[in-house]
Amino acid sequence: MSYKGKYKIKNLKKYRGDPTKVTYRSLWEKKFMNYCENNPDVIEWSSEEIVVPYKSPIDKRIHRYFPDFWIKIKKENGLTECVLIEVKPKKQLTQPKKPKRITRRYLSEVYTFGVNEAKWKAATEYCSDRKWRFKIITEDHLF
Protein backbone atom coordinates (compact mmCIF):
# COMPACT_ATOMS: atom_id res chain seq x y z
CA MET A 1 0.00 0.00 0.00
CA SER A 2 1.34 3.43 -0.95
CA TYR A 3 1.70 6.14 1.68
CA LYS A 4 1.27 8.86 -0.96
CA GLY A 5 -0.91 9.16 -4.00
CA LYS A 6 -3.79 10.70 -5.88
CA TYR A 7 -7.19 10.48 -4.22
CA LYS A 8 -10.20 9.88 -6.45
CA ILE A 9 -13.17 11.96 -5.29
CA LYS A 10 -16.32 9.85 -5.18
CA ASN A 11 -18.81 12.57 -4.24
CA LEU A 12 -18.03 15.53 -6.52
CA LYS A 13 -20.90 17.61 -5.12
CA LYS A 14 -19.19 17.67 -1.72
CA TYR A 15 -15.70 18.62 -2.91
CA ARG A 16 -14.83 22.32 -3.17
CA GLY A 17 -11.82 22.84 -5.39
CA ASP A 18 -10.10 20.99 -8.21
CA PRO A 19 -11.01 17.30 -7.80
CA THR A 20 -8.19 16.24 -10.17
CA LYS A 21 -5.46 17.53 -7.84
CA VAL A 22 -6.35 15.83 -4.57
CA THR A 23 -3.23 14.19 -3.16
CA TYR A 24 -2.68 12.43 0.14
CA ARG A 25 0.78 12.51 1.69
CA SER A 26 0.09 9.93 4.40
CA LEU A 27 -2.32 7.12 5.08
CA TRP A 28 -3.75 9.30 7.86
CA GLU A 29 -4.67 11.98 5.31
CA LYS A 30 -6.23 9.33 3.06
CA LYS A 31 -8.25 8.06 6.02
CA PHE A 32 -9.48 11.60 6.72
CA MET A 33 -10.45 12.06 3.06
CA ASN A 34 -12.58 8.90 3.28
CA TYR A 35 -14.14 10.29 6.47
CA CYS A 36 -15.04 13.55 4.69
CA GLU A 37 -16.61 11.70 1.77
CA ASN A 38 -18.60 9.25 3.88
CA ASN A 39 -19.73 11.40 6.81
CA PRO A 40 -23.16 12.97 6.14
CA ASP A 41 -22.36 15.81 8.59
CA VAL A 42 -19.51 16.98 6.32
CA ILE A 43 -21.35 19.24 3.86
CA GLU A 44 -18.28 20.37 1.88
CA TRP A 45 -14.55 19.75 2.05
CA SER A 46 -11.31 20.49 0.26
CA SER A 47 -7.67 19.43 0.51
CA GLU A 48 -4.81 21.94 0.37
CA GLU A 49 -6.94 24.50 -1.47
CA ILE A 50 -6.58 27.33 1.09
CA VAL A 51 -3.41 29.43 1.37
CA VAL A 52 -2.41 30.97 4.70
CA PRO A 53 0.56 33.37 4.67
CA TYR A 54 2.95 33.00 7.62
CA LYS A 55 6.29 34.45 8.69
CA SER A 56 9.01 31.84 9.14
CA PRO A 57 11.00 32.11 12.38
CA ILE A 58 13.99 30.74 10.47
CA ASP A 59 14.44 33.22 7.61
CA LYS A 60 11.94 35.91 8.79
CA ARG A 61 10.28 35.87 5.35
CA ILE A 62 6.65 35.37 4.39
CA HIS A 63 5.81 31.88 3.12
CA ARG A 64 2.62 30.13 2.03
CA TYR A 65 1.05 27.42 4.17
CA PHE A 66 -1.53 25.04 2.69
CA PRO A 67 -3.44 23.42 5.59
CA ASP A 68 -4.33 19.80 4.87
CA PHE A 69 -8.11 20.24 4.89
CA TRP A 70 -11.00 22.66 5.04
CA ILE A 71 -14.36 21.22 6.02
CA LYS A 72 -17.83 22.65 6.44
CA ILE A 73 -19.81 20.58 8.93
CA LYS A 74 -23.41 20.46 10.07
CA LYS A 75 -23.50 20.63 13.86
CA GLU A 76 -26.09 18.97 16.12
CA ASN A 77 -27.90 22.29 16.60
CA GLY A 78 -28.41 22.58 12.81
CA LEU A 79 -25.86 25.38 12.35
CA THR A 80 -22.78 24.97 10.18
CA GLU A 81 -19.14 25.45 11.09
CA CYS A 82 -16.00 25.74 8.96
CA VAL A 83 -12.81 24.13 10.24
CA LEU A 84 -9.25 24.19 8.89
CA ILE A 85 -7.54 20.92 9.74
CA GLU A 86 -3.92 19.83 9.88
CA VAL A 87 -3.09 16.12 10.22
CA LYS A 88 0.15 15.52 12.16
CA PRO A 89 1.79 12.83 14.28
CA LYS A 90 1.29 13.59 17.97
CA LYS A 91 5.06 13.73 18.56
CA GLN A 92 5.32 16.78 16.27
CA LEU A 93 3.04 18.83 18.53
CA THR A 94 5.62 19.27 21.28
CA GLN A 95 9.03 20.86 21.25
CA PRO A 96 11.78 18.23 20.92
CA LYS A 97 13.66 17.46 24.14
CA LYS A 98 17.24 18.66 24.04
CA PRO A 99 19.62 15.67 23.99
CA LYS A 100 23.01 15.53 25.70
CA ARG A 101 24.64 15.68 22.28
CA ILE A 102 23.20 17.99 19.60
CA THR A 103 22.58 15.95 16.46
CA ARG A 104 21.44 16.84 12.94
CA ARG A 105 18.21 15.01 13.64
CA TYR A 106 17.54 17.13 16.74
CA LEU A 107 18.26 20.36 14.83
CA SER A 108 15.90 19.23 12.06
CA GLU A 109 13.15 18.49 14.59
CA VAL A 110 13.62 21.92 16.24
CA TYR A 111 13.48 23.60 12.82
CA THR A 112 10.31 21.69 11.86
CA PHE A 113 8.65 22.45 15.18
CA GLY A 114 9.45 26.18 14.91
CA VAL A 115 8.09 26.43 11.37
CA ASN A 116 4.97 24.40 12.28
CA GLU A 117 4.30 26.64 15.28
CA ALA A 118 4.44 29.72 13.03
CA LYS A 119 2.09 28.06 10.51
CA TRP A 120 -0.41 27.07 13.20
CA LYS A 121 -0.38 30.54 14.77
CA ALA A 122 -1.08 32.09 11.34
CA ALA A 123 -3.83 29.52 10.66
CA THR A 124 -5.46 30.24 14.03
CA GLU A 125 -5.52 33.98 13.25
CA TYR A 126 -6.76 33.31 9.69
CA CYS A 127 -9.63 31.24 11.08
CA SER A 128 -10.43 33.75 13.81
CA ASP A 129 -10.84 36.48 11.17
CA ARG A 130 -13.41 34.29 9.37
CA LYS A 131 -15.17 32.90 12.46
CA TRP A 132 -13.79 29.47 11.61
CA ARG A 133 -11.87 27.04 13.81
CA PHE A 134 -8.37 25.60 13.39
CA LYS A 135 -7.76 22.05 14.58
CA ILE A 136 -4.78 19.72 14.54
CA ILE A 137 -5.73 16.06 14.24
CA THR A 138 -3.35 13.30 15.38
CA GLU A 139 -3.40 9.52 15.34
CA ASP A 140 -5.50 9.72 18.54
CA HIS A 141 -8.39 11.22 16.53
CA LEU A 142 -8.05 8.92 13.52
CA PHE A 143 -7.92 5.53 15.20
> From the candidates 14, 29, 30, 48, which is the catalytic residue?
29
Residue 92, C-beta contacts closer than 8 angstroms, at least 6 positions apart: 112, 113, 116
User: Does 10 qualify as catalytic in the annotation?
Assistant: no
User: Does 59 qualify as catalytic in the annotation?
Assistant: no
69: amino acid identity, one letter: F
> From the candidates 30, 48, 68, 119, which is the catalytic residue?
68
> From the candidates 72, 74, 88, 135, which is the catalytic residue?
88
Rounded to 5 degrees, what are φ and ψ at 134? -110, 135
User: Does 44 qualify as catalytic in the annotation?
Assistant: no
Q: Which of 56, 63, 69 is nearest to 25 (CA)?
A: 69
Give the residue numbers marked as catalytic: 29, 68, 88
